[in-house]
Structure 1
Amino acid sequence: MSDAPAAKSQLKTVLVAFAANLLVAIAKSVAAFVTGSASMLAEAAHSWADAGNEIFLLIAERRSVKPANATHPLGFGREAYVWSLFAAVGLFTAGAVVSVQHGISELIDPEPASDFSVAYIVLAVAFVLEGISFAQSLVQARKGAARFNRRPLDYALNSSNTTLRAVLAEDAAALIGLVVAFLGILLHQLTGNAVWDALGSIAIGLLLGVVAVVLINRNRRFIVGQTPGDSARRIAGRVLTNHPEIARVTYLHLEFVGPEQLFAVAAVDLVGNHREEEVARQLREIERSIEGNSLIRKAVLTLSVSDEPSIDFD
């Protein structure tokens, strides 16, 4: 089961980011054409890449919540990691590579820039719009971190919520990139040397490359079967041990099958001493009960052996 209010809030975060990036991309493109600034062109490529990536993230949000069926009994949650991976690759190719290539080209054959005031105005407006998007994603990260008793930065970087991580990382990179672009253009204007503008373009490209590689690596981990950390394990363990019909848990395997969706396999010792058929029915009922928790997509329970030690989830 999914948390509907949280899902709607996250969808709103992605839509805000898409709208901000689209407006900023158009403004930066016009400014790059008017000024001839290499840093501004790099920023325009950055924003167009971000806007395109938000489309991938919207697809990730929509497809990952499709209900389970006979061919996908664990649901479609991992779709989020696939489409987020596409977005990260797009950020690398359309943002990082283009910015670095253009910067190198400007270093080899620099071109003078003009109308610096236009660039400064566009950068200021972009900073406001990107800041609004960043604030929205930061609020979402803090809510998620509070839910799992984690620090916001740790939650954003390491949680299974790949869409939020992508939006937050792209917004943070956008704000840093704007500062870099401002410095490159300002130094170009003050010194009359286009090398500073070109270096700004290269620096923006390298920044995007680092962000893209981090996002690609995070999505790769979850696609191939990332196990949750101690916090998620404790939460899932307590869901089991707090059930009135479970006396103790001796084995627990957890695997992410989507953002904040776990597949749980556990060996449990049940309260009482019932006949085999009654125990089988009891296990099935407990599984369905546990799957009512928004974090547990699927639960499979088996019986513990009497001499197996209990797991402490405190």
Structure 2
Amino acid sequence: MTRRRGRHDGQSGASLHTVLTAVGANVLVAVAKGVAALVTGSAALWAETLHSIADTGNELLLFVGLRRSKKKEDLEHPFGYGQERYFWAFLAALGIFLIGGVLSIIEGVRSLLRPEPLSSPWVGIAVLVAAACFEGYSWGVARRQLRVRARELHRTLAEHLIRASDPTATTVYLEDSAALVGIALALAALVLHLLTGWAGWDGLASICIGLLLIAVAALLARRSKALLIDESAPQDVVRPIRDAIVRPDWVADVRALDVIFVGPAELLVIARVVPVPDAVEVPARDLVKRVDGLRQELLRAPAITEAAVTVEDVPR
């Protein structure tokens, strides 16, 4: 039984472009923020530097997942390595939590306990404005990929973020969304420091950035966990598959249908069908041909990696 793989190269290519764009943007942003943090002494800028470093590392993990997920199926992994992406996305979520979230909160608390006046705050403001442009571009690339896929599945963007089977663009999109909010918080802290002279704004912004990153990490980890433990496909994916199964005139009903993600946009379909009474009376070889024809029809769908169809006899 030969499985056809490599039918999602377009989506994988879009994910790779999204990841590489995010890596390039975050390397530039991390360096700029780090220099500005050294010049100004701002805790919020240190938090944003940690955030960008964490994002860069996370996107490299996503890149590893993309490459490893393309390995061919073998005896130990008969359905391929598509779930590698979920594992590496889970590690990326842990990176956001530990490096971005926890360390940002620690830096914010330290700054509140020992507030220090800022040096050259305008340098920090200029760097943050430039960082917002880079992050905004990366965010736009990820958003475009998600919107294209959402339209293909007749979903809103919000629905697709919840149900998407490919964690790559979702992770980059949420990371960049958090980055833009974090930049806004850091900018607000610098401006308020200039206006009021109170250094505590910086520490508060750093703590808020850390809490934001922990929330994003929790969302991403929860989604990756669900996909790692063979989550069933949502109903908007299952429904057309069920319709295709009952379309042949020899199928009376679908007794059971399991549709499981074995990788991003890769589905394992297991169906038990009840034939019409007349179909049971035909020679066994003819019924076998009908079942195999139905299986081949299912496999023509780009998202279905493997399908198994079994027949349950009708009551006599």
- The answer to whether TM tops 0.5 is yes
Distance 2:282 2:16 in 1: 47
**Once the 2 structures are TM-superposed, how far is the Cα of residue 230 of structure 1 from its aligned partner?**
1.2
Distance 1:259 1:244 in 2: 32
Give the one of 36, 39, 42 matched to 2:41.
36
- Which 10-residue stretch deviates more, 201-210 or 180-189? 180-189
Q: How does 1:136-175 map to 2 (within 5 A)?
A: 136-175=141-180
**Once the 2 structures are TM-superposed, how far is the Cα of residue 185 of structure 1 from its aligned partner?**
1.2
Structure 2 runs not aligned, ≥5 long: none
- Distance 1:267-1:215 versus aligned 2 partners, 3 A rule: same
Distance 2:55 2:79 in 1: 31
- 1:78 paired with 2:78, answer no
SS at match of 2:20: helix
**Cα offsets for 1:229-254 (capped at 9, x unmatched):** 11111132234344687565332111
Give the one of 45, 60, 63 matched to 2:68.
63
- 1:116 paired with 2:121, answer yes
Distance 1:137 1:239 in 2: 32
Question: Letter of the aligned partner of 1:291 in structure 2?
Answer: L
Q: How does 1:1-314 map to 2 (within 5 A)?
A: 1=5, 2-242=7-247, 248-269=253-274, 272=279, 273-306=281-314
Distance 1:218 1:90 in 2: 15
Tell me if structure 2 keeps the 8 A contact 1:251–1:268: yes
**Once the 2 structures are TM-superposed, how far is the Cα of residue 281 of structure 1 from its aligned partner?**
4.6
Distance 1:244 1:193 in 2: 76
Normalising by structure 1, report the TM-score: 0.92
**Cα offsets for 1:156-201 (capped at 9, x unmatched):** 2322121121111001101111101101111112222111000000
The size of the alignment, in residue pairs, is: 307
Question: Letter of the aligned partner of 1:96 in structure 2?
Answer: G
- Distance 1:72-1:282 versus aligned 2 partners, 3 A rule: farther
**Once the 2 structures are TM-superposed, how far is the Cα of residue 68 of structure 1 from its aligned partner?**
1.6
Tell me if structure 1 keeps the 8 A contact 2:275–2:313: no
Distance 1:244 1:96 in 2: 57
Tell me if structure 2 keeps the 8 A contact 1:142–1:152: yes
Superposition CA RMSD, Å: 1.8
Tell me if structure 1 keeps the 8 A contact 2:89–2:167: yes
**Once the 2 structures are TM-superposed, how far is the Cα of residue 305 of structure 1 from its aligned partner?**
3.7
Distance 2:162 2:127 in 1: 30
Distance 1:297 1:41 in 2: 46
Tell me if structure 1 keeps the 8 A contact 2:241–2:298: no
Question: Letter of the aligned partner of 2:291 in structure 1?
Answer: L
Distance 1:138 1:243 in 2: 39
Distance 1:36 1:62 in 2: 39
- Distance 1:84-1:28 versus aligned 2 partners, 3 A rule: same
- Distance 1:117-1:80 versus aligned 2 partners, 3 A rule: same
**Once the 2 structures are TM-superposed, how far is the Cα of residue 260 of structure 1 from its aligned partner?**
1.7
Distance 2:261 2:248 in 1: 22
**Once the 2 structures are TM-superposed, how far is the Cα of residue 287 of structure 1 from its aligned partner?**
2.4
Question: Letter of the aligned partner of 1:31 in structure 2?
Answer: A
Question: Letter of the aligned partner of 1:179 in structure 2?
Answer: A
1:311 corresponds to: none
Distance 1:35 1:105 in 2: 16
